[in-house]
Each structure stands twice: as structure tokens, then as C-alpha cells.
Amino acid sequence: MGVVNVTPDSFSDGGVHLDADVAAASARRMVEEGAAIVDIGGESTRPGSDGVSVDEELRRVVPVLERLAGAVPVSIDTAKAEVARRAFALGAELVNDVTAFRADPELAGVAADAGAYVCLMHMLGEPRTMQLDPRYDDVAAEVAAFLEERLAFAVGEGVAEERICLDPGIGFGKTVEHNFELVRRLDVLLALGRPVLVGFSRKSSLGKVVGDPDARTGPLSASVAAAVAAYERGATILRVHDVCEHVEALAVARAVVVGP
């Protein structure tokens, strides 16, 4: 899954894709490089962010979706039913909701009616405050319990279970230790029986592990290592900003597992 943030303030690519033509060109390039789907988002969820209005989010993403209609498999990264409705009408196939249908419960019905795929992600708290001293007794068990409950909610709202994938939410209310433990113990999430998506790309925990305690992002090399580690532990969707490098690395990791 390639990432195109149509935002001024995303933590690693803020401002890069604000122009709809540039954003659409990036999405097309990502598919040429091997992405199976491109996640288009109009609201940053970086730590400390406040969120944007429906109108502003639509203003950002609709022109990009119009340019991509039909040509590129699209995921819409939103927590808002109205944004998802417009995105589905313009051809989006998946809704990636970092609040797992908590911010706007109506979104579940919109996804169900559209027959869309859904990604449900774990987040502790909300973006504005989530990185202020997050605590768990057992991070993998607690994230799994949350996702199990949200999976049941989504199915109860009419989303087909086989269309749902689950995501531990790397960096969303987690310390560096929590993020790495979630990948190490991915089996706990896989036990829920759904595909698992991992989004470690460029996140600050990577920069911290490679030596900068104040890192706000992580380097490409570290992103690739995290994606390969997640793949080896059973993740089937990797959400990444640098598609070409990840596709190459994952092709090699896959060749080790199933043969070249």
C-alpha cells in the first residue's frame, strides 16, 4: 500500500502532494512501482494534530480521486462518513479508518453499503494527546482485544468480515518499545483470523532505534527493515511511502520464504 498524503502537515511528506496533479502522478507512479493500492489521505494524524473539517478534507482529496478514477486502486484514509461516501462514488475500494469506526460510527454503514474493503486500526487516545505517556499491561493482548471488538462492531454494521483487515497502529499511542513488541508478537493479532496491515514507514521509532533520540521520522533503510520483519511475522499489507524500495525488498524476503 503506497501512501499519498494530500496535506500541508503530514509528518514525513506534508506539503509534497498538495497539488492534485502532483498527488495523482505520485499515486500512478506507486502502482507502476508495484503498489497494489494507494492510500489517499486529506487529514494528518501525526502526534499533536487537531484534525480538519469535512469540507477541507473533501477539498483536498476529491480532485485527486477525480484524476485517478478507475485508473488506480484507491484506499481512502479517512474517519469521516461523508468523505468515504464521496471517495467510494469516485471509485475508492477500501476505507482506512485510524479510529476504527469510533470517530464517525456512520462510516461503517457507508462502507457496508458500498461493499468496500475496510482497515480497522488501533489507536490509544487521539492524535492530539496519544503520545503523552501511553501505557499498557500487555500491549499485544490489549491491541488484539480492541481490534476484536471493532471487528465485531464492523461486522454487526454489515461489513463483510472477509473484507476487513486489522492494523496495530504503529506510533498511535505507543512508545518505541510498544511499536517493536507489536511487530515481534504479530501472531497475537493474526490469531483474530484477518489479514494484518503494518505501517512502520518513516515513523520516528525507526529514527530513534538507529541513534537519534529526538528523531521525528525514520530513514528509508530502517523502514524497509521494519516492513520485512513484519512480513516475516505474517503481515500481508505494508503501508509505505517509498514503494519501489519496499517492493524490491519484499520480493527478496518472499523469495526466501516461498522460493524465487
| Active site residue ranges | 203, 239
The only residue of 57, 77, 157, 242 in contact with ligand HH2, by rule CB under 6 A: 77
Least distance from ligand HH2 to the Cβ atom of residue 255, Å? 26
**Which of 17, 46, 150, 208 contacts ligand HH2 by CB under 6 A?**
46
239 binds ligand HH2 (CB under 6 A): yes
The three cell numbers locating residue 177: 518499545
- Which strands form 164-167's sheet, in the order they lie side by side? 2-5, 38-41, 74-77, 94-97, 117-121, 164-167
233 in Cβ contact with 184 (< 8 Å): yes
Q: Quick one: which of 17, 20, 24, 45 contacts ligand HH2 (CB under 6 A)?
A: 45
Instruction: Work out whether 242 is an interface residue with ligand HH2 (CB under 6 A).
Output: no
Closest separation in Å from C-beta 53 to ligand HH2? 16
Rounded to whole angstroms, what are the CA distances from 259 to 30, 164, 221, 230, 251?
25, 28, 24, 18, 10
DSSP annotation of 162 reads: G
Beta-carbon contacts of 46 under 8 Å, excluding residues fewer than 6 positions away, are: 9, 10, 11, 127
Binding test (CB under 6 A) with ligand HH2, winner from 65, 119, 154, 215: 119
Q: Which helix (H) or strand (E) holds 122?
A: none
- When asked if residue 94 is in the footprint of ligand HH2 (CB under 6 A), the reply is no
Q: Should residue 197 be labelled a site residue for ligand HH2 when binding is judged by CB under 6 A?
A: yes
Residue 80 interacting with ligand HH2 (CB under 6 A)? no
d(CA 67, CA 46) in angstroms, rounded, equals: 26
Phi, psi of 254 (to 5 degrees): -70, -40
Q: Which residue is nearest to ligand HH2 (CB)?
A: 199
Residue from 2, 3, 85, 226 binding ligand HH2 (CB under 6 A)? 3
* Per CB under 6 A, 154 contacts ligand HH2: no
Which of the ranges 66-74, 147-155, 164-172, 227-235 carries the binding residues for ligand HH2, by CB under 6 A?
Answer: 164-172
Look-up: residue for cell 496533479?
A: 21
Phi, psi of 40 (to 5 degrees): -105, 125
Q: Does 124 bind ligand HH2 (CB under 6 A)?
A: no
Q: Decide: is 2 part of the binding site for ligand HH2 (CB under 6 A).
A: no
Stretch that binds ligand HH2, among 40-48, 104-112, 134-142, 213-221 (CB under 6 A): 40-48
Long-range contact set of residues 55-61: C-beta below 8 Å, sequence gap at least 24: 57/83, 58/82, 58/83, 58/86, 60/6, 60/7, 60/18, 61/6, 61/87
**Binder to ligand HH2 among 20, 61, 94, 98 (CB under 6 A)?**
98
* Residue numbers at the binding site for ligand HH2 (CB under 6 A): 3, 5, 7, 10-12, 41, 44-46, 77, 96, 98, 119, 121, 167, 169-170, 197, 199, 239
